[in-house]
């Protein structure tokens, strides 16, 4: 799983989320920093309304939450989702003794992004792509 900090950077760089079953997220308020939720028809379900998407908490007794606007949620994309978002820019994932390197092609050049975890390396590569697109 990627870090909260990288998830915020990705969101701020323009990554948009359409919630789907299995997606992980945090509520983007400090009192929920340690809590990770999963969208599931059994517990947390995305409801589409004309006014926007709301994440409904179904059958939860331990939380005083009914729903939260998707704008107040911070998506924590998984490794496969990050790889898919890189699309044709993705070249390879390399394993090293101290972590991982994701290699992408950006503006005709190969660039590597290193991290101790594969998802974080993918996230750093995607951040570079998003920042390039928005520049």
58 within a domain of the structure (yes/no): yes
User: Do residues 24 and 78 make contact, with C-beta atoms less than 8 angstroms apart?
Assistant: yes
Same domain, 22 and 59: yes
Same domain, 95 and 115: yes
Number of domains in the chain: 2
Expressed as residue numbers, the domain containing 94 is 79-134
Same domain, 42 and 83: no
Q: What local confidence, expressed as pLDDT, does residue 46 receive?
A: 86
d(CA 96, CA 78): 20
Q: Which residues pair with 27 in a beta bridge?
A: 73
Same domain, 126 and 107: yes
Q: What local confidence, expressed as pLDDT, does residue 81 receive?
A: 97
pTM score, whole prediction? 0.83
Same domain, 127 and 108: yes
24 within a domain of the structure (yes/no): yes
Nearest to 21 by CA among 38, 3, 1, 4: 38
The pair phi, psi for residue 63, each rounded to 5°, is -120, 145
Q: Average pLDDT over the chain, rounded to whole?
A: 90
Pick the last residue of a domain from 75, 104, 119.
75
Whether the predicted pLDDT of 112 surpasses 90? yes
Q: What local confidence, expressed as pLDDT, does residue 89 receive?
A: 96
10 within a domain of the structure (yes/no): no
Determine whether 65 is exposed, middle or buried from the number of CB atoms within 10 Å of its CB (0-12, 13-18, 19+): middle
Per-residue buried b or exposed e for 13-39, using 16+ beta carbons within 10 Å of the residue's own CB? bebebebeeebbbbbbeeebeeeebeb
Report CA dihedral (121, 94, 106, 125) to the nearest 10 degrees: -10
Q: How confident is the model at residue 14 (pLDDT cuts 50, 70, 90)?
A: very high
- What share of the chain has pLDDT > 90, as a percent? 65
11 within a domain of the structure (yes/no): no
- Tens of pLDDT, residues 31-87: 777 889 888 776 778 889 999 999 887 765 555 566 788 999 999 999 999 999 999
Same domain, 64 and 84: no
Q: What local confidence, expressed as pLDDT, does residue 44 receive?
A: 77
Same domain, 130 and 86: yes
Same domain, 91 and 66: no
Same domain, 27 and 56: yes
Whether the predicted pLDDT of 110 surpasses 70? yes
Q: What local confidence, expressed as pLDDT, does residue 121 receive?
A: 98
9 within a domain of the structure (yes/no): no
1 within a domain of the structure (yes/no): no
Q: In what order do the strands lie in the sheet with 52-57?
A: 44-49, 52-57, 67-69
Q: What local confidence, expressed as pLDDT, does residue 65 receive?
A: 60
């Amino acid at each position: 799983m990627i870090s909260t900090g990288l998830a915020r950077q990705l969101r701020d760089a323009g990554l948009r989320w359409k919630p789907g079953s299995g997606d992980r997220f945090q509520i983007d308020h400090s009192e929920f920093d340690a809590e990770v939720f999963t969208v599931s028809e059994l517990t947390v379900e995305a409801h589409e309304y004309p006014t926007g998407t709301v994440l409904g908490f179904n059958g939860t007794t331990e939380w005083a939450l009914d729903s939260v606007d998707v704008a107040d949620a911070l998506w924590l994309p998984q490794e496969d989702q990050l790889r898919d978002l890189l699309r044709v820019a993705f070249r390879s994932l390399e394993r090293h003794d101290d972590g991982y390197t994701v290699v992408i092609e950006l503006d005709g050049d190969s660039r590597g992004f290193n991290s101790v975890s594969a998802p974080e390396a993918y996230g750093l590569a995607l951040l570079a792509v998003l920042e390039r697109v928005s520049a």
